[in-house]
Amino acid sequence: MSTSLKNKTALVTGASSGIGREIAQLLAERGVRVFGTARNPMLASPIPGVEMIGMDVTNDESVAAAVWSIVRQAGPIHFVVNNAGYGLSGAVEETSLAEARQQFETNFFGILRVTGAVLPGMRQAGFGRFANISSVVGLFPSPFMGMYAASKHALEGYTESLDHEVRSFGVRALLIEPAFTKSNISHSGQDAGLRLDAYAGPRERSSQSVKKGIANGDDPRLVAEAVFTALTAKSPRLRYPVGKGVTLSRLRRFLPASLFDRAIRKELLLD
């Protein structure tokens, strides 16, 4: 049994490309009125059925103005897909505090801003769904992307806590957990400014392993389908691992810690 999509409105952040674009397009195809966000919507390629608006998730005023604009045009927002984010590469020792803060401003605090702007309306309406795009690295370590992994670990704890707080109001907060997915994250990501020779070899091997994983990753349509299921299921689960992420999540749950540790190091060519 699924939630009716009649007269439903969705907000999808980071919808100009990659996974966000795929999610926005699928929801629009299935009858949802979709507003997608981008920092500069004028530069985004049009998506059939999707209304693009400007939003910078790191800016309080920008988020508030975008949400107000949607509500003014379409009424209450029923679905929010918090997708905006980027990857920051580099050893933890190479990553400055400023770079780490910026990673969290987008990947974590950006979600808090959007959620905080929409949640009061959902509570008053007695219905709403947040689908937060996490990652299997919200459950795993991610050497040489430690700040990215930390932001996703934070998102996991935040979303699970929020879900318990708002469930009695008819609102749910849910996690979508892709593994490697064909996307532009390796091109749109950033590198830490400092490069220490001590980490050069393992950093490069790990980077090549990640790039290979993305190139051979799951189709972003699988992520969009998982989001659709989470938003429309009558009794949604908290977590939706996607594609290869299903197997990886099971490995973390059932594999002995020592074997899991060795598997991570082998996969990323760290030894």
> Does residue 58 form part of some domain?
yes
pLDDT tens digits along 91-123: 999 999 999 999 999 999 999 999 999 999 999
Q: Is residue 85 part of a domain?
A: yes
Q: Categorize the per-residue pLDDT at 1 as very low, low, confident or very high, splitting at 50, 70 and 90.
A: very low
- CATH code at 237? 3.40.50.720
Q: How far is CA 61 from CA 5, 57, 228, in A?
A: 30, 9, 29
Domain annotation covers residue 3: no
Place of tokens 């996690």: 175
Active site residue 152: yes
* 187, pLDDT greater than 70: no
Torsion angle, alpha carbons of 128, 176, 83, 157, to 10: 80
DSSP 8-class letter at 181: B
In a domain, 82, yes or no: yes
Instruction: Give the pLDDT confidence of 3-44 residue by residue, as tens digits.
Output: 668 789 999 999 999 999 999 999 999 999 999 999 999 989
pTM of the model: 0.93
Indicate which residue of 8, 135, 142, 152 is catalytic. Answer: 152
3 state SS for 44-107: CCCCCCEEEEECCCCCHHHHHHHHHHHHHHHCCCCEEEECCCCCEEECHHHCCHHHHHHHHHHH
DSSP 8-state assignment for residue 38: E
What average pLDDT does the segment 51-57 reach?
97
Averaged pLDDT, 44-67:
97
Percent of residues, the chain, with pLDDT higher than 90 = 76
User: If we measure between CA atoms, which residue out of 196, 217, 210, 197 comes closest to residue 269?
Assistant: 210
- Give me the domain span that covers residue 42: 9-267
State the pLDDT at residue 86.
Answer: 95
- For 121, left (φ over 0), alpha (ψ -120 to 50), or beta? alpha
Exactly one of 8, 148, 151, 240 is catalytic; which is it?
148
Mean local confidence (pLDDT), 174-183: 90
Catalytic-labelled residue, pool 8, 16, 89, 206: 16
Please state the domain count of the chain: 1
pLDDT band at 267 (very low <50, low <70, confident <90, very high): confident
With 0-12 CB in 10 A as exposed, 13-18 as middle and 19+ as buried, what is 63? buried
What count of other Cβ atoms lies within 10 Å of the Cβ of residue 204?
12
C-beta separation of 90 from 191 below 8 A: yes
Residues 224-260: tens digit of each pLDDT: 999 999 999 999 999 999 987 677 777 777 788 898 8
Phi and psi (nearest 5°) for 51?
-95, 115
Note the pLDDT tens digit of each residue in 122-131: 999 999 999 9
Structure tokens at 232: 């429309």
Instruction: Report the alpha-carbon distance of residue 23 to residue 78 in Å, rounded.
Output: 15
Is 113 in contact with 217 (CB distance < 8 Å)? no
Q: What pLDDT, in 10s, does the model give residues 189-207? A: 899 999 999 999 999 998 9
H-assigned helices in the chain: 18-29, 60-74, 97-104, 110-125, 146-166, 185-188, 200-215, 220-232, 244-254, 257-267
- Is residue 69 domain-resident? yes
Tell me whether residue 18 is in a domain: yes
Catalytic residue (one of 8, 89, 134, 244): 134
Residue 113 lies in a domain: yes
